[in-house]
Amino acid sequence: MTAQSTKSDIPALQRIRDDVQSMHAYAVQDARGLIKLDAMENPYALPPMLQEALGRRLGQLAINRYPGDRGADLVRALANHAGLPEGFSLMLGNGSDELISLLAMACDLPGAAILAPVPGFVMYAMSAQLQGLRFVGVPLSADFELDEAAMLAAIEKENPAIVYLAYPNNPTANLWDDESIERIVMAQGRQGGLVVIDEAYQPFASKSYIERMARHQHVLLMRTLSKFGLAGIRLGYLMGPQALIAEVDKVRPPYNVSVLNCETALFALEHADVFAEQAAAIRKERDVVESALDRLGVQRWPSQANMVLIRVRDAGKTFEGMKERGVLIKNVSKMHPLLANCLRLTVGTTDENRQMLAALEQSL
């Protein structure tokens, strides 16, 4: 829009859905000059030798061609990396975000619903809204555990097409009780619905659902390379029974994963040990951050991810104070009433965490 024109000067805007016009675009915080601990990224860069090797490999790619067979190579490599059980398949997305959108598209029946515990990852609700589906958010308990009874009641009442369980959850960073999950999975199965277990934070968690997935024909497991150390390339993957993945895959735009994403992911999997070491270092650092928060007397919840959720007296003031001291975190306090005065800290390098904790102490 030019400085002179107003919305009413552009008739074509009437063709944009009202609900889209009233939405806010996903805001990425400006991190320039700040220690970036707001988005659960892996803080470690690729070692220089690998950077050079990757550069050489990407330089030789046929970028004049659409993505081809390397996609199939990546599917195999990821299935192997994840330990995908026999008889199950895997599809690729441009980040898990795209997979969440594709799932909503594939389930877009009139009146269909998507259900997830809240507070949770925002894309579940957003994908439902954009697809004209109902989103049913079932509040967690005050200590951020699953309210199993409320989940079961909502599943029965709403008959959702999809139940999402992020395992661990964002922003609360916890895993759910195994038996509660199983009862929710069974209840959703009895209604003929899907369950998606979102394991975005799997590299930092003590458990995975992958082996349990093999017992069901209505459970999909979603993972991403973002937290593994490749947030910049946008590569998510969805695993599940062949028949289900084949249907969701029909909604996928052709060539959704570029040759650059694909080759970089293949390269990273060839060097998976490097990323596994980074994840181990992050888990160790998480323990250090948690102990330091305890020493500071800051309320926090135990984390199975690369983030720690804390509650302070005045989240706005602490967030701004930390930013003034050069540290960018995420103020999640307005996301849901249960998150009042909560802030989410991504675990960084030893040095970043030291600075983050100092900035927090000075900003409480």
Identified binder of ligand PMP from the candidate list 38, 97, 158, 290, rule CB under 6 A: 97
Longest alpha-carbon distance in the chain: 61
DSSP characters over 43-106: -PPPPHHHHHHHHHHHHTS-TTS---THHHHHHHHHHHHHTPPTTEEEEEESSHHHHHHHHHHH
Q: Is the Cβ of residue 166 or residue 244 nearer to ligand PMP in the bound state?
A: 166
Q: Is 41 in the site for ligand PMP (CB under 6 A)?
A: no
Q: Is the Cβ of residue 214 or residue 231 nearer to ligand PMP in the bound state?
A: 231
Distance from C-alpha of 38 to C-alpha of 347, rounded to nearest angstrom: 9
Identified binder of ligand PMP from the candidate list 67, 71, 95, 119, rule CB under 6 A: 95
Q: Is the Cβ of residue 38 or residue 363 nearer to ligand PMP in the bound state?
A: 38
Site for ligand PMP, residues 195 to 234, rule: CB under 6 A: 198, 200, 224, 226, 231
Burial label for 86, CB within 10 Å (0-12, 13-18, 19+), is exposed
Stretch that binds ligand PMP, among 8-16, 69-77, 92-100, 246-254 (CB under 6 A): 92-100
Containing 165, the helix (H) or strand (E) segment is strand 162-166
Distance from C-alpha of 107 to C-alpha of 102, rounded to nearest angstrom: 9
Identified binder of ligand PMP from the candidate list 170, 188, 202, 304, rule CB under 6 A: 170
Q: Is the Cβ of residue 114 or residue 363 nearer to ligand PMP in the bound state?
A: 114
Stretch that binds ligand PMP, among 58-66, 89-97, 149-157, 205-213 (CB under 6 A): 89-97
Minimum distance, C-beta of residue 28 to ligand PMP, in the bound complex (Å)? 12
Q: Is 38 in the site for ligand PMP (CB under 6 A)?
A: no
Q: Is the Cβ of residue 346 or residue 363 nearer to ligand PMP in the bound state?
A: 346
Q: Is the Cβ of residue 166 or residue 315 nearer to ligand PMP in the bound state?
A: 166
Positions of E strands within 267-341? 299-300, 307-311, 327-328, 330-331
Distance from C-alpha of 247 to C-alpha of 235, rounded to nearest angstrom: 20
Residue ranges in contact with ligand PMP by CB under 6 A? 40, 95-97, 121, 166, 170, 198, 200, 224, 226, 231, 236
